[in-house]
């Protein structure tokens, strides 16, 4: 099971969304996670499943369902009026919901 979003997923945020996320992480005392880029050690704050659940709970009502059928399983995230459906990984489903909040929050 995937536990963190990737650096590429983090790059899907708008500049304002990224600043909002950075402020939220600093306000909550979360540190920097190291990663390598072009062979050099770099730092960027990523989100874990726990961080994303906390973030979404602070921004509205959150429901998580795991759907299972013969053809496979997937996660469905209901967040306020939003619905994120058809993600194989819980981490990716939560990230899609966080990304919507971060990229559209004013």
72 vs 56: CA distance, rounded Å: 26
30 vs 13: CA distance, rounded Å: 19
Quote the tokens at residue 86. 């058809």
Q: Taking Cα atoms as reference points, which of 59, 98, 58, 48 lies closest to residue 77?
A: 98
Cα 96 versus chain centre, distance: 6
Q: For the purposes of burial, counting CB atoms within 10 Å of the CB of 97, is it exposed (0-12), middle (13-18) or buried (19 or more)? A: buried
Q: pLDDT truncated to tens, each residue of the chain (106 aa)? A: 888 888 788 889 998 998 888 889 888 888 665 666 666 655 565 788 999 999 999 988 888 888 777 767 778 888 777 778 777 888 999 999 999 899 986 5
Whether the predicted model's global pTM rises above the 0.75 cut: yes
List, in sequence order, every beta strand (DSSP E) within the chain.
33-37, 40-44, 62-69, 72-79, 82-87
């Amino acid at each position: 099971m995937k536990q963190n979003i990737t650096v590429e997923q983090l790059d899907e945020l708008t500049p304002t969304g990224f600043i909002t996320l950075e402020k939220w992480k600093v306000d909550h005392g979360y540190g920097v996670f190291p990663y390598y880029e072009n062979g050099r050690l770099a730092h960027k704050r990523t989100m874990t499943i726990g961080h994303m659940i906390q973030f979404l709970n602070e921004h509205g009502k959150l429901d998580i369902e795991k759907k299972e059928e013969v053809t496979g399983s997937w996660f469905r995230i209901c967040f306020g009026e939003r619905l994120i459906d058809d993600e194989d990984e819980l981490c990716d489903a939560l990230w899609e919901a966080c990304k919507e909040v971060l990229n559209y929050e004013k």
